[in-house]
Amino acid sequence: MNVDKSLWPFQQVLSDEESRDLGTQSVYMTDIDPKKTTILLKFIQRQWPQQQGLEHCKRIRKNILPDGRITLSVLLCPTSVIGEDELERLLNEFSVGDNTFDRSPVQTIPVPLYAPLNRTQFESCKHLWPIIYREDTRLDPKFNESQINDITTHMQALITKSQNALSGELPVFARVVDPSNNRIIAEGSDTRAVDKHPLHHAVMNCIDNVALAERDRRQSHKRKLNETDSLSEEDPDISSRDSTPNLEETVEKVAYLCTGFDVYITHEPCTMCSMALLHSRIGRVFYHKPSRTGALGTVYKIHSHKSLNHHFKVFGKVLRCDSSQAEATDPYLQLGNDGNEVDA
């Protein structure tokens, strides 16, 4: 059974589009006798064949008056499209002969500027005006209890390593896991000091180690294949006993280094490391502590940026109590001796 989102020991880092305030735009509206609706809709269709940014708003709102009568409020167009006097004139001009309709004077009302992408956004804007919103929960991330346990275990292991980090090195640790079988593929820690290399961050080292692990796996597979070849002459059934997946099949599946893998990190990664995870096509990222220069939520949201060619889900504050006091005493990574702030 899936664990309710409110009980996750972490928070999803949503894209700007998913987390933003939907804002408002001013729109003209008029109340009309329900029987005359088609005439007014004809007028709207003729004036503004395009929907003018109101695609997420229902065109008509039904009002039930205290005496039981029903009126309809109809959205006309955003106020940015036309002046109110000009609109009144056009409506009057149209309302002649068979097209005659009674209506209230044009009013200006606020409606949401953007379409809601999730329930939170929908709830925040639905009081303004009826909104078109179909909840698609298939796209929502889901975790069952055992998955939450796995996530907790991996992160706890990294936090423990971080607490025992070598002095002089930054206490940043990363671990790549295949979530389909919970197997640890590779780990990495920050080695900027010992390597005298300013780019040997935990995530970069971890990705390098994934590449090494993959190379070893291919080599050992090749060896196995060779052994199988020599053995199969004696025993024709031997090949069916080889449980190693076919290399070609795996390559088809794993076109990039980290496709489908999760990475656990003690700190929100910097811009370089976040982009390296994108280049290697990481599946999901879990980090413990946000960083001031972090690029998966704090400064940028590289995982959900429109122009970038791979998107992935990010979960922050894993196992981290969200207290402002903890943030204040430990606001960013400090480099051992000089106490200078650095990137994770």
Least distance in angstroms from the C-beta of 56 to other proteins? 27
Name which of 182 and 271 has its Cβ closer to other proteins: 271
Give kind and range of the element (H or E) at residue 160.
helix 145-163
d(CA 339, CA 333): 9
Name which of 161 and 217 has its Cβ closer to other proteins: 217
Name which of 61 and 310 has its Cβ closer to other proteins: 310
Where do we find the tokens 């040997």?
200
d(CA 296, CA 343): 13
Query: Which residues contribute to the site for other proteins (CB under 8 A)?
Result: 196-199, 207-208, 211-212, 214-215, 218, 251-252, 255-257, 270-272, 275-276, 278-280, 293, 295, 299-300, 302, 305, 307-309, 335, 340-343
Name which of 33 and 214 has its Cβ closer to other proteins: 214
Eight-class DSSP state of 246: P
Least distance in angstroms from the C-beta of 315 to other proteins? 21
Name which of 116 and 297 has its Cβ closer to other proteins: 297
- HSE (CB half, 13 Å, CA atoms) of 164? 5
d(CA 81, CA 28): 10
What distances in angstroms separate CA 34 from CA 39, 183, 252, 317, one per listed residue? Answer: 10, 63, 59, 52
Least distance in angstroms from the C-beta of 186 to other proteins? 13
Number of H helices, E strands in the chain: 11, 12
Least distance in angstroms from the C-beta of 191 to other proteins? 13
Least distance in angstroms from the C-beta of 17 to other proteins? 16
